A and B are shown apart, each in its own frame.
Chain A
Amino acid sequence: MVLAFMFLRRLFSVFPVWLGVSVLSFGLLRLIPGDTATMMLGTRYTEERAERLRERMGLDQPLPVQYVRWLGRVVRGDLGESAYTGRPVRDELLERLPVTLQLAGGALITALLIAIPLGVLGAAQRGKAGDYAAQVVGISGLSIPNFWLGTLLILGFSLGPGGLPSGGYISPSVSLAQNLRHMLLPTVALSLAVAAVLLRMCRSAMLEILDQDFMELARAKGVSRTRLLWVHGLKNAWLPVMTVLGIQAGYLLGGSVVIESVFRLPGIGSLALSAIQSRDYVLLQGVILFVATAFLLINLTVDLLYAWIDPRMRAS
């Protein structure tokens, strides 16, 4: 009941932000000087098509009217047609979504697998070798640009002895093994920066928890140190780590632009890039609106999960 109320309230506060994002995406196309219809048609321009488009989109109407009509189409899932290929933007997005989802999802899991053990280790060995290692990974992960890391990985593992593919994509429906071989390097390259942020968060949260009284109490009761760290400590450290997950999702979506470019993966990020290169602003508008909507929804979910877990965590 309380959760349902929270959900509605959060949804209510997200909605104006989403509207703002839609205005931003809509405005993007109008900020570029030149005739909108010409721009939207790109290479497919004919006088006849332009006339039909102006008619359909109401381009002779005032901007607010155009916006409302555009929004009406967006809400029904119609994001317009690519100026370059003439295909619906929605289809372009859906076609490329699985690649980016696999990349970002894989990177998130990899990041957690690196961050949590190292973060706990760092806190447990405060000031000793393990902590030092964790801090080095943390600070270098924040400092190495992901596209350079990708380049280094190609140098080391595709041109070097590893023999992994240096780019390209193979759908898992064709060959799962090939798919994984192709995704391994980009996933690692994208994950390191996220791992660094999560690791630092996890380490400091663990340090704070280790200082607290109930840990002393548990130790006095004879709970083993390992159990103490990994069960009691981590259970509590997980919450602050979760708070940054939503923001990291945004980093993953943005970072995928760069990584998909390095490894020539046909995902949403490279779609955005090719949209800019071919001046396909309808497509770019669609990508931005889509990514921002996804980001808002992810953050909404994280917030709700947090609210759902938090009271139980405190009670235990």
Chain B
Amino acid sequence: MKNTWQAFRMHRMGMVGAVLLALLLGSALFAPLLSPRDPLAMQTDALLTAPGSDALLGTDALGRDVLSRILHGSRLALHVGLVSVGFALTAGCLLGVTAGYAGGKTDYVISRFLDILFSVPDVMLALAIMAVLGQKTTNVMLAIGIVYTPIFARVARGEVLRVKRALFVEAARSMGVRTLPLIVRHILPAAVPALIVQTTLSFAFAVLAESALSFLGLGVEPDTPSWGMMLRDGKDWLDEAWWISVFPGMAITLTVLSFNLVGDALRDALDPRLRGGAA
């Protein structure tokens, strides 16, 4: 653990990501304090105000303050990320560990099920799920969670297969350690580094996916301050008010970038085996 932290600190790009991430967390936590205005308040006398002293990042077509909406949007992005990645991690580990540990027919069935989910491109799958469930924030979380479950399952399954035959696992089995403690004590800990890396990178995917769904009008509810929704609102005003589209996009990019940088650095620091691997 100490070595990991040292290796991470030596990673310049990783530290840049960590600082960005800290800023993001800060703005999400203190959004109500930092925001100059109510993100939902429409100022009919200040429609499409250009960035300036009145509104630092301008206002949108309904006179809502862009900066305040971006700050509040970070809460939504993190919330969706947390719940959907949490779902994918939990469901993925359950499926992957079961498949890897049980092997045989169970493994075949679960692996084919994951292949099925994998064979629909992620945006398309999320769209289809949203079409069935309906446009709602909780449904976005569920849809993104389902879409990224197979990745976690594959990682977990691979790690289980790697350590399942390890001598210390056999030793534990020979002592009569039950299946569940065997997995929790001996097998899962070996999978933790790979899962941490995958979790961090999945946050990046989740933030991207939520904003894409909202941009397409199939994500969060219409008035919610979401970065993707802001870009959707802004695309009709591109020639008059570039700021509605430019600043939320920057927020998405910086957020995704910070998770990617931290994920890359963690991959290098935690496990040399994973270096330069999957995208």
Whether chains A and B associate is yes
Q: Interface on A for B, CB 8 Å cutoff?
A: 16-18, 20-21, 24, 28, 31-32, 135, 139-140, 142-145, 147-148, 151-152, 154-155, 159, 166, 197, 200-201, 203-204, 207-208, 244, 247, 250-251, 253-255, 257-258, 261-262, 272-273, 276-277, 281, 284, 287-288, 291-292, 295-296, 299
Contact: A257 with B231, CB < 8 Å? no
Q: Interface on B for A, CB 8 Å cutoff?
A: 13, 112-113, 115-116, 119-124, 127-128, 130-132, 204, 208, 211-212, 215-218, 231, 234-235, 238-239, 242, 245-246, 249, 252-254, 256-257, 260-261, 264, 275-276, 279
Q: Which of B123, B204, B234 contacts A258 (CB 8 A)?
A: B123
Contacts of B264 in A (CB 8 A): 139
Contact: A16 with B252, CB < 8 Å? no
If A151-B245, A201-B279 are given as contacts, then 14 extra A-B residue pairs at C-beta distance below 8 Å, sorted by A number, are A17-B119, A142-B256, A144-B253, A148-B245, A148-B249, A204-B275, A204-B276, A253-B121, A254-B121, A257-B124, A257-B127, A258-B123, A261-B216, A276-B218
Contacts of B120 in A (CB 8 A): 21, 24, 288, 291-292, 295
Contact: B124 with A17, CB < 8 Å? no
Query: How far apart are the CA atoms of A253 and B118 in the complex, in Å?
Result: 13
Query: How far apart are the CA atoms of A204 and B217 in the complex, in Å?
Result: 38
Contacts of A166 in B (CB 8 A): 238
Contact: A255 with B246, CB < 8 Å? no
B115, B204, B218, B246 — most chain A CB neighbours (10 Å): B115
Contact: A17 with B128, CB < 8 Å? no
CB distance from B213 to the nearest CB of A (A): 9
Query: How far apart are the CA atoms of A143 and B17 in the complex, in Å?
Result: 12
Contact: A143 with B257, CB < 8 Å? yes
Query: How far apart are the CA atoms of A19 and B211 in the complex, in Å?
Result: 32
Contact: A143 with B123, CB < 8 Å? no
15 residue pairs of the A-B complex, CB under 8 angstroms, read: A28-B131, A28-B132, A31-B132, A144-B249, A144-B253, A145-B212, A145-B215, A159-B238, A208-B276, A254-B124, A257-B216, A273-B127, A284-B128, A288-B124, A299-B119
Query: How far apart are the CA atoms of A201 and B279 in the complex, in Å?
Result: 8
A200, A251, A292 — most chain B CB neighbours (10 Å): A292
Contact: A148 with B279, CB < 8 Å? no
Query: How far apart are the CA atoms of A139 and B253 in the complex, in Å?
Result: 10
Contacts of B116 in A (CB 8 A): 17, 20-21, 24
Contact: A139 with B260, CB < 8 Å? yes
Query: How far apart are the CA atoms of A15 and B87 in the complex, in Å?
Result: 29
Contacts of B124 in A (CB 8 A): 253-254, 257, 272, 287-288, 291-292
In the complex, residue of chain B having the shortest beta-carbon distance to the beta carbon of A136? B13
Query: How far apart are the CA atoms of A262 and B238 in the complex, in Å?
Result: 12
Question: What is the number of contacts between chain A and chain B, taking CB atoms within 8 Å?
Answer: 137
Top 6 closest pairs, chain A to chain B, by CB = A204-B276, A254-B121, A148-B249, A254-B123, A20-B116, A143-B257
Contact: B253 with A17, CB < 8 Å? no
Contact: B252 with A148, CB < 8 Å? yes
Contacts of A31 in B (CB 8 A): 132
Contact: A292 with B123, CB < 8 Å? no
Query: How far apart are the CA atoms of A176 and B58 in the complex, in Å?
Result: 41
Contacts of A148 in B (CB 8 A): 231, 245, 249, 252-253
**A139-B260, A144-B253, A147-B212 as given contacts; A281 in contact with B131, CB under 8 Å:** yes
Query: How far apart are the CA atoms of A272 and B130 in the complex, in Å?
Result: 12
Contacts of A273 in B (CB 8 A): 127, 216
Contact: A276 with B212, CB < 8 Å? no
Query: How far apart are the CA atoms of A159 and B237 in the complex, in Å?
Result: 12
Query: How far apart are the CA atoms of A299 and B212 in the complex, in Å?
Result: 25
Contacts of A28 in B (CB 8 A): 128, 131-132
In the complex, residue of chain A having the shortest beta-carbon distance to the beta carbon of B116? A20
Contacts of B122 in A (CB 8 A): 250-251, 254
In the complex, residue of chain B having the shortest beta-carbon distance to the beta carbon of A17? B115
B112, B132, B211, B264 — most chain A CB neighbours (10 Å): B132
A147, A201, A244 — most chain B CB neighbours (10 Å): A147
In the complex, residue of chain B having the shortest beta-carbon distance to the beta carbon of A20? B116
Contact: B211 with A145, CB < 8 Å? yes
Query: How far apart are the CA atoms of A17 and B242 in the complex, in Å?
Result: 45
In the complex, residue of chain B having the shortest beta-carbon distance to the beta carbon of A248? B279
Contact: B256 with A296, CB < 8 Å? no
Contact: B204 with A142, CB < 8 Å? yes
Contact: B231 with A250, CB < 8 Å? no
CB distance from A184 to the nearest CB of B (A): 18
**A258-B216, A284-B131 as given contacts; A152 in contact with B235, CB under 8 Å:** no
Contact: A244 with B279, CB < 8 Å? yes
Contact: B208 with A295, CB < 8 Å? no
CB distance from B8 to the nearest CB of A (A): 17
